[in-house]
Amino acid sequence: MTSSRTLNIGALSRATGIPKGTLRTWQRRYGFPDPDRNDAGHRIYDPSIVERLRLTQRALEAGHRPSDVVGETTDALRELLQASDTSPEIPEAPGAPEDDSWRDDWIESANSLDGQSLQMHFRNAWNRLGGLDFLRERVSPFLSEVGDAWASGRIDVVHEHYASEVLRDFLTDQWRPLSDRSQGPRVVCTTPPGEEHALGLQMAATVLAMAGWRILFLGPNTPVDDIVTAAEARAEAVAISLSIAADPESTRRGLQSMAARLPADIELIVGGQGVESPPERALIFEDLEAFYRWAFQRARATAES
């Protein structure tokens, strides 16, 4: 350490926006950030690593894996981000077969109503995989596994609801700090009247926040009048999520009404398993990677205009 002024782990977390638990995990797994210890044995850090950690966080938000960026030099991270600004890289899923034991571990935590354990599983996977791969390789399969476990009687509906609530809270904890720090365009995230399911909406908010958007989260089952009012007042886009349980006729009417009433310069993004007969103006993406790339480039274009 070169500076006489040091930061404790709480101050470093506040300066970088990286949770204290994540800093500890990175130290154990990647050897960075490597702290000194004060006389009381507490971690202390040189302020010079703040910029490096901020660049690391930006690289993760751009979709890179922690194993590829944590511990990289400041210059290497700047070069990586410059390349990402032109064409954000989305890492491909590894070709080797993956151990699926995590599914049983997560289901067991849900079946035990052990929120602390579930949160730990989520946090470890997020830190290891990065945000996009966490959503693709963990969240989507886990939700399918929970549904199958309920259908087969391995868990009850209370366990399904509990797991969904813990996951909702975890995703909110990821996207909200990103949104709060962002100076990018604003997006209203909601579901139309009659659609009570919001986990898909949480996933969309997470992708958009990682891409640099500011989230105006209205939650599920929002009247069309309120969606249009919020968008006209504060947003450049509206993101709608529809679950497979959504009533097709009700959602079709709601989307058509929104499409007709939203100004032409406000994007209408529609996603989820319940999408049927979307309005012609709606943006629909084939996967999370395509969604992220569009959101990233759109946020960048807004910043440069």
Span 108-125, pLDDT tens digits: 999 999 999 999 999 999
Mean pLDDT taken over the chain: 86
Element of type H or E holding 190: strand 186-190
CATH number for the domain running over 182-304: 3.40.50.280
Q: Domain 7-86 has what CATH class?
A: mainly alpha
Question: What is residue 217's three-state secondary structure?
Answer: strand
Take residue 221 and report the two structure tokens written for it.
């089952």
Q: Please report the pLDDT score of residue 217 as a whole number.
A: 97
- So where are the chain's domains? 7-86, 101-176, 182-304
Q: Can you tell me the distance from the alpha carbon of 26 to that of 32, in angstroms, rounded to the nearest whole number?
A: 6
Do 129 and 120 contact (CB within 8 A), yes or no?
Answer: no
Question: Which residue has tokens 């007709």?
Answer: 260
Cα distance between the two ends of the chain: 41
Is the model more confident about 147 or about 180?
A: 180
Report which residue type is found at 196. Answer: E
Take residue 3 and report the two structure tokens written for it.
């500076």
Question: Which residue has tokens 């490597």?
Answer: 34
Give the tens place of pLDDT for each residue, 255-293: 999 999 999 999 999 998 888 888 999 999 988 989 999
CATH architecture of 101-176: Orthogonal Bundle (1.10)
Q: Can you tell me the distance from the alpha carbon of 229 to that of 109, in angstroms, rounded to the nearest whole number?
A: 41
Q: Please report the pLDDT score of residue 85 as a whole number.
A: 54
111-120 contact pairs (CB < 8 A, 24+): 111/149, 111/154, 111/155, 111/159, 113/158, 113/159, 113/162, 115/162, 115/166, 118/163, 118/166, 118/167, 118/170, 119/166, 119/169, 119/170
Q: Please report the pLDDT score of residue 94 as a whole number.
A: 44
Phi, psi values for residue 99, rounded to 5°: -65, 125
Count of C-beta atoms within a 10 Å radius of residue 125: 18
Do 86 and 70 contact (CB within 8 A), yes or no?
Answer: no
Please state the pTM of the whole predicted model.
0.69
262 burial via Cβ count (<10 Å: 0-12, 13-18, 19+):
buried
Q: Please report the pLDDT score of residue 98 as a whole number.
A: 53
Q: Please report the pLDDT score of residue 233 as a whole number.
A: 92
Do 32 and 26 contact (CB within 8 A), yes or no?
Answer: yes
Q: Can you tell me the distance from the alpha carbon of 127 to that of 302, in angstroms, rounded to the nearest whole number?
A: 29
Q: Please report the pLDDT score of residue 305 as a whole number.
A: 66
By residue count, the chain amounts to 305
Query: Would you say the CATH fold of 182-304 matches that of 101-176?
Result: no
